[in-house]
Amino acid sequence: MIASGVGYIQPHALDELWFHTGTACNLDCPFCLEGSRPGDNRLQRITLGDVRPLMDAAVGLNVRQFSFTGGEPFVVKDMVAILEYAASLRPCLVLTNGTAPVVRRLTQIRRLAGSAHPIAFRVSFDFADEARHDAGRGAGNFRLALQGLRALHKAGFSVSIARQMQPGRDEAEVDQEFRQVLAAEGLPADLRIIAFPDFGTPGEERTVPRITEDCMTRYQTETTRRAFMCGFSKMVVKKGGQMRIYACTLVDDDVRYDQGDSLEKALSQRVLLEHHRCYSCFKYGSSCSELG
Ligand code: SF4
């Protein structure tokens, strides 16, 4: 039998550049894939000064979109200024929990609706059931997230929601439960819903099948390989006061995926699919991106 090496993705473009706004969050959810909580600084909060040179460099590499995830982006003091600058260059997507930090800053956020490029928001929900959602996220946060989502939609921003996959349940049925909640809140019932598997917490070791080069040709096609996030995007994080480029949004807990401080050099590096979360991309086609 011929041994097959570790499967990999060769990046083909920088369509999307993600910025991690830091692991500080107003919520303290035990299942957070980023391990975010109040005051956490595994990944540090970004400033406009930190990100501006990288945004400018990304524009030179024909980036199509800037996207932001946390932590909760709106606990970051500079977030509105960062979005103001980012949206002067390219369309933006912001992943948020939609709760108190968003509601508190709505007046500032609404002003961004007039940006040169559109800003879209994706609000996280775990379950369509309020009590089950609040059991993980804290009492009152289901209602607050709906309030934030409604306000963002009303202000003219495009909105979507993220939810957890529920193994063993029919995914269309789960979506339908959410659509009923959205419709009751006066939100579009056809709003985009993105479902994510359980990615585990940072640094967690999980045993998953090994992805080999053979798997990547036997079970994937050129088209599906190009759809892996690490094929067309990068993520910028701030660690130890330095801005670093990682292969994607899911592997910032593993230094093997630190690709340096130059976007251009990072794009030339092959990404080995050795992180346990890579298996979710392989098996489910998991992706944080909304770029089609
Ligand atoms: S987690 Fe997915 S997108 Fe990230 S490096 Fe692994 S395969 Fe690529």
Q: What is the mean pLDDT of residues 236-250?
A: 97
Q: Whose C-alpha lies nearest to ligand 1, atom 1? A: 278
**Spacing, Cα 109 to ligand 1 middle (Å):** 31
Q: Which of 277, 282, 287 is the best mutation target for the ligand 1 pocket, counting ligand atoms within 8 Å of the beta carbon and taking the most? A: 277
Torsion, CA 218, CA 193, CA 159, CA 41, rounded to 10:
-70
- Phi, psi at residue 235, to the nearest 5°? -125, 135
The pLDDT tens digits for 148-179 are 999 999 999 999 999 998 888 898 999 999 99
Q: Mean pLDDT score of the chain, rounded to an integer?
A: 94
Q: Whose C-alpha lies nearest to ligand 1, atom 2? A: 278
Could you tell me if residue 112 is inside a domain?
A: yes
Could you tell me if residue 214 is inside a domain?
A: no
Structurally, the chain folds into a number of domains equal to: 1
Could you tell me if residue 8 is inside a domain?
A: no
Res 292: pLDDT: 66
Could you tell me if residue 275 is inside a domain?
A: no
**Spacing, Cα 141 to ligand 1 middle (Å):** 30
Domain harbouring 58, CATH code: 3.20.20.70
Res 212: pLDDT: 95
Which atom of ligand 1 is found nearest the CA of 249? Answer: 4
The pLDDT tens digits for 263-290 are 999 999 999 999 999 999 999 888 888 8
**Spacing, Cα 248 to ligand 1 middle (Å):** 6
Q: Whose C-alpha lies nearest to ligand 1, atom 7? A: 278
**Spacing, Cα 181 to ligand 1 middle (Å):** 32
Separation of alpha carbons 137 and 185, rounded Å: 20
**Spacing, Cα 242 to ligand 1 middle (Å):** 22
- Phi, psi at residue 227, to the nearest 5°? -85, -10
Separation of alpha carbons 227 and 123, rounded Å: 23
Could you tell me if residue 292 is inside a domain?
A: no
Could you tell me if residue 150 is inside a domain?
A: yes
**Spacing, Cα 229 to ligand 1 middle (Å):** 6
Q: Whose C-alpha lies nearest to ligand 1, atom 6? A: 278
Cβ neighbours, 10 Å, residue 91: 19
**Spacing, Cα 279 to ligand 1 middle (Å):** 8
HEC string of the chain equals CCCCCECEECCCCCCEEEEECCCECCCCCCCCCCCCECCCCCCCCCCHHHHHHHHHHHHHCCCCEEEEECCCHHHCCCHHHHHHHHHHHCCEEEEECCCHHHHHCHHHHHHHHHCCCCEEEEEECCCCCHHHHHHHHCCCHHHHHHHHHHHHHHCCCEEEEEEECCCCCCHHHHHHHHHHHHHHCCCCCCCEEEEECCCCCCCCCCCCCCCEHHHHHHCCCHHHHHCCHHHHEEEEEEECCEEEEECCCCCCCCHHHECCCCHHHHHCCCEECCCCCHHHHHHHCCCCCCCC
Res 133: pLDDT: 93
CB 229 within 8 A of CB 273: no
Which atom of ligand 1 is found nearest the CA of 275? Answer: 6
Res 181: pLDDT: 94
Residue 1 has pLDDT above 70, yes or no: no
CB 154 within 8 A of CB 103: no
**Spacing, Cα 87 to ligand 1 middle (Å):** 26
Torsion, CA 77, CA 248, CA 58, CA 41, rounded to 10:
20
Quote the percentage of the chain above a pLDDT of 90. Answer: 87
- Phi, psi at residue 5, to the nearest 5°? -70, 180
The pLDDT tens digits for 177-212 are 999 999 999 999 889 999 988 888 998 888 999 999
Separation of alpha carbons 41 and 240, rounded Å: 10
Residue 2 has pLDDT above 70, yes or no: no
Residues with CB under 6 A from ligand 1: 9, 228-230, 247-248, 250-251, 271, 273, 275, 277-278, 281
Residue 48's domain spans which residues? 14-205+231-268
Q: Whose C-alpha lies nearest to ligand 1, atom 8? A: 230
